[in-house]
Structure 1
Amino acid sequence: MTKETSPQSFLSQELLDILRDPTDGSPLVLDESQANLNSPTSEKSYPVKNGIPRFVEQEHLSSFGLQWNKYEVAHDDEDRATFTAKTGMELSDLNGLRILDAGCGGGRYCKVAAEAGGIVFGADHTTAVEKASKLCSHLDQVRLVQADLKHLPFEPESFDFVFSIGVMHHDKDTRAVFDAVARMVKPGGKYSVWLYRKNQWWQEGINSGLRKITTRMSPEKLEPWCRLGAWLGGIPVINKTLNKVVNFSNHPNWENRVCDTFDWFAPAYQYHHTVDELQSWFKEAGFEQLKILPPEKTGSFYRWCYDHNLLIGSGVNVQGTKSGENQADNKPS
């Protein structure tokens, strides 16, 4: 299920079959030039650029398009481990499943899921989909769209497994994004979400104060500060103590540290949530068999800090199964 060509410039029939006009849910028709998707009912037209349907512009999320296209942060072994930890799904369980990566960014987890045999649809609000297309260019079963997660251009209840890792909290209404994406899950399908965790009051206060400054900075002015954070993230002791006060990444890789720190301070919106809050959303959206997924890292001191909400940038992570009839008979598409 691989290909040797460059990123595809055509739309697969499987993508065309599932695409819908995000304004009214009607099927879309690809014109003869294959340059536009047209809605016969709303008369709207959506461009197809580099083989990717574009339903939105980047808007307030432009910093993500910049960071994912600029930095090289994919690491195969690490990405597979992170995917498993943050979705609660074993790679061996993905074969043949129709999967949605809601907020795919540069495509790291699209790649992981597709290489494990999943039929993957990635959606992102930004031009990061172009980076995802390049990263997944060897995989036939990855389809990408640039779209608003609150108005996804897909038929509801079309996916066996949906996941979103570190994305929804960057919208002005995290809950609205959660509910919109939840509608994409089939009855009996699984849904995994990772959001930023709410920290101690004093950490939240320091972070909010700093972000009032950094979110007004241009990327060119912000990046040197992120490089300073990346430098601090490479210094032993400091990279495990000072970053509990002011967030900066301590990832082993320099480029990841710069990207992660930029990812924290650049976005216009950033909201933090609790496990109880996220679980309540799952229940109200009709999900059951909820699982609170533990953090990927281990160690007694780490877990103590995690349990006391002291780790800035750590997450709340839940998986649920969508309720409905015939769950036991739910099979891959």
Structure 2
Amino acid sequence: MRDGIPRFVPEDNYGKSFGYQWNLHRLTQLDSYVGLPVSRDRLLRESGWTTDELEGREVLECGSGAGRFTEVLCQTGAAVTSFDISNAVEANATSNGRFAGLRLLQASIYDLPLMDESFDYLVCLGVIQHTPDVERAFKTIFRYLRPGGKFCIDVYAAIVAYPHLRQLLRPVTKRIPPGKLYGVVQSITPRLLPVSTRLSAVPWVGDYLTRLVPVANHRHLGLSDTETVRTWSVLDTFDWLSPQFERPQPRRRLERWCRDLRLSEFEIERIRGLYVVRGTK
């Protein structure tokens, strides 16, 4: 236990870069800070759930980051258990500790100190592609969902995620200490972001041309403030380049995992560069 948060992993682990970025950008993606329902819309769009159905339910959030989705879940009145392998849980606690229904843990997705089949809902967004063994991560978290419980998990889509310039850079950038890499990203992003935006405007092929520029561009989110756009771009460009693991998955593999688990029902939807897997256990 440290700072009121139970800890079940060593401080130095494969999620170290995420701890760095989320404590630095504690507020950046919180709806309450941005003033737009970006995280709320993504959560409800991907899951297909409503805020009313979550009220009073036991929800397990796998991989909290700084708590952008934690905030949305807690606002529904759900009892939320949220964990992360990194010390990003500290950022989450600072932002969302006011919610009485929130329980935070720093723990591994492979070894959670939780009772099996103890949650009504399971959500895992932006996480499993960054784990050492994606199949094991995907299958393990279902241990904690009750029969008949609902789930939503997303993962980078293969092969969509591969033809991107960042994949040529990652073998080098993931070995650079987070503080040093962040300085580089902070320096180059304001220069490259306008280039990415101009390329994105090219008819028919704009989305493909932006893949030649290794910066994240959130033009589709409706962020109007220039500084906010730049900050999100710096954050997500670092998020692209820094993780130790990035393992996109093909649809057929996800389908096989779901069949292996003998889920009651599931569907897989492609949303931009993600596969979203949702259904009922």
TM-score of the two chains, using structure 2 as the length reference: 0.85
Q: What is residue 49 of structure 1 aligned with on the other side?
A: 2
Structure 1 residues 217-228: aligned runs within 5 Å: 217-227=176-186, 228=188
Tell me if structure 2 keeps the 8 A contact 1:68–1:105.
Answer: yes
Q: State whether structure 2 residue 173 is matched by structure 1 residue 214.
A: yes
User: How far apart, in 2, do the equivalents of 1:89 and 1:273 lie?
Assistant: 24
Q: What is residue 9 of structure 1 aligned with on the other side?
A: none
1:174-231 superposed Cα distances (whole Å, 9 cap, x missing partner): 0111111111110000111100111359716x54331111112122332244232354
Tell me if structure 2 keeps the 8 A contact 1:126–1:146.
Answer: yes
Q: Partner of 1:112: helix, strand, or coil? A: helix
Deviation at 1:142, TM superposition (A): 0.6
Residues 278, 68 of structure 1: CA spacing in aligned structure 2 closer, same or farther, 3 A cutoff?
Answer: same
Q: What is residue 110 of structure 1 aligned with on the other side?
A: 70
Selected match of 1:319 from 267, 278, 281 = 278
**Higher helix residue share:** 2
Aligned-residue Cα RMSD (Å) equals 1.9
- Aligned residue pair count: 257
Consecutive unaligned residues in structure 2, runs of 5 or more: 32-36, 201-205, 224-228
Q: State whether structure 2 residue 219 is matched by structure 1 residue 243.
A: no
Residues 237, 67 of structure 1: CA spacing in aligned structure 2 closer, same or farther, 3 A cutoff?
Answer: same
Q: State whether structure 2 residue 22 is matched by structure 1 residue 68.
A: yes
Q: Partner of 1:183: helix, strand, or coil? A: helix
Tell me if structure 1 keeps the 8 A contact 2:215–2:233.
Answer: yes
Residues 129, 201 of structure 1: CA spacing in aligned structure 2 closer, same or farther, 3 A cutoff?
Answer: closer
Tell me if structure 2 keeps the 8 A contact 1:57–1:126.
Answer: no
Q: State whether structure 2 residue 84 is matched by structure 1 residue 130.
A: no
Structure 1 residues 132-151: aligned runs within 5 Å: 132-151=92-111
Q: What is residue 203 of structure 2 aligned with on the other side?
A: none
User: How far apart, in 2, do the equivalents of 1:64 and 1:153 lie?
Assistant: 21
Deviation at 1:100, TM superposition (A): 0.5
Q: State whether structure 2 residue 59 is matched by structure 1 residue 95.
A: no
Consecutive unaligned residues in structure 1, runs of 5 or more: 1-47, 296-305, 307-313, 323-333
Corresponding letter in the other structure for 1:282: C
1:42-61 superposed Cα distances (whole Å, 9 cap, x missing partner): xxxxxx11111000024111
Q: Equivalent pairs: percent with the same residue?
A: 30
Residues 230, 321 of structure 1: CA spacing in aligned structure 2 closer, same or farther, 3 A cutoff?
Answer: farther
User: How far apart, in 1, do the equivalents of 2:166 and 2:246 lie?
Assistant: 10
User: How far apart, in 2, do the equivalents of 1:117 and 1:86 lie?
Assistant: 19
User: How far apart, in 1, do the equivalents of 2:74 and 2:161 lie?
Assistant: 40
Q: Partner of 1:286: helix, strand, or coil? A: coil
Selected match of 2:234 from 255, 258, 262 = 258
Tell me if structure 2 keeps the 8 A contact 1:103–1:124.
Answer: yes
Deviation at 1:144, TM superposition (A): 0.2
Deviation at 1:169, TM superposition (A): 1.1
User: How far apart, in 2, do the equivalents of 1:117 and 1:53 lie?
Assistant: 23
Tell me if structure 1 keeps the 8 A contact 2:30–2:71.
Answer: no
User: How far apart, in 2, do the equivalents of 1:230 and 1:169 lie?
Assistant: 27
State which drifts further: 234-243 or 53-62: 234-243
Q: What is residue 300 of structure 1 aligned with on the other side?
A: none
User: How far apart, in 2, do the equivalents of 1:73 and 1:86 lie?
Assistant: 21
